[in-house]
């Protein structure tokens, strides 16, 4: 599946320099890299089915952060539907960098897990 972020316009000042354990193009590591892109742009209950494909994805954090930071309006990204992302963005208008927030949360989780 080719779901590169090149079709996503980055907002001015969009953070992209936050350290990630994934170097380079994270999209090449996505669990959906060989899937049909249309599969991730379905509606209704089909979204809940397709987002389960993200749950074991090695770059789920990077994918979700990219979608949130760039306000991607359509499709399932990082295990969240567009509706779920919109709700999250409304709840947390204070977040300037989802990438920073999610990577920090992942690092804290891994540190606490020992
Ligand atoms: S989190 Fe989901 S949409 Fe994002 S790269 Fe992984 S499988 Fe693809």
Q: Each residue of 48-61: pLDDT tens digit?
A: 999 999 999 999 99
Which tokens hold the place of 65?
Answer: 């952060």
CA dist., res. 48 & res. 39, Å (int): 12
Write down the domain spans for the chain: 26-113
Q: How far apart are the first and last CA of the chain?
A: 34
Q: Is the pLDDT of residue 77 over 60?
A: yes
Where does the pLDDT of residue 20 fall: very low under 50, low under 70, confident under 90, or very high at 90 and above? low
CA dist list (Å): 85 to 59, 66, 88 = 17, 11, 5
Is the model's pLDDT at 114 over the cut of 80?
no
Q: Which residues contact 105 (CB under 8 A, 6 or more apart)?
A: none
> CB of 69 within 8 A of CB of 14?
yes
Helix (H, G, I), strand (E, B) or coil at 79: coil
Given this model, what pLDDT does residue 49 score? 94
- Summarised one tens digit per residue, pLDDT across range 23-48 is 668 889 999 999 999 999 999 999 99
Residue 78 Cα: closest atom of ligand 1 = 1
Cβ–ligand 1 contact at 60 (below 6 Å): yes
Q: Which atom of ligand 1 is nearest to the CA of 59?
A: 6
């Amino acid at each position: 599946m080719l779901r590169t972020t090149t079709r996503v316009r980055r907002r001015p000042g969009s953070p992209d320099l936050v350290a990630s354990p994934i170097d380079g193009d994270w999209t090449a590591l996505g669990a959906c890299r060989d899937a049909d892109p249309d599969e991730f742009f379905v509606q209704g209950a089909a979204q809940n089915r397709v987002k389960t494909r993200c749950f074991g994805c090695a770059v789920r954090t990077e994918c979700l952060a990219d979608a949130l930071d760039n306000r991607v309006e359509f499709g399932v990204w990082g295990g969240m539907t567009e509706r779920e992302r919109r709700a999250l963005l409304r709840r947390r208008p204070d977040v300037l960098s989802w990438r920073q927030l999610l990577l920090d949360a992942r690092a804290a989780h891994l540190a606490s897990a020992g």
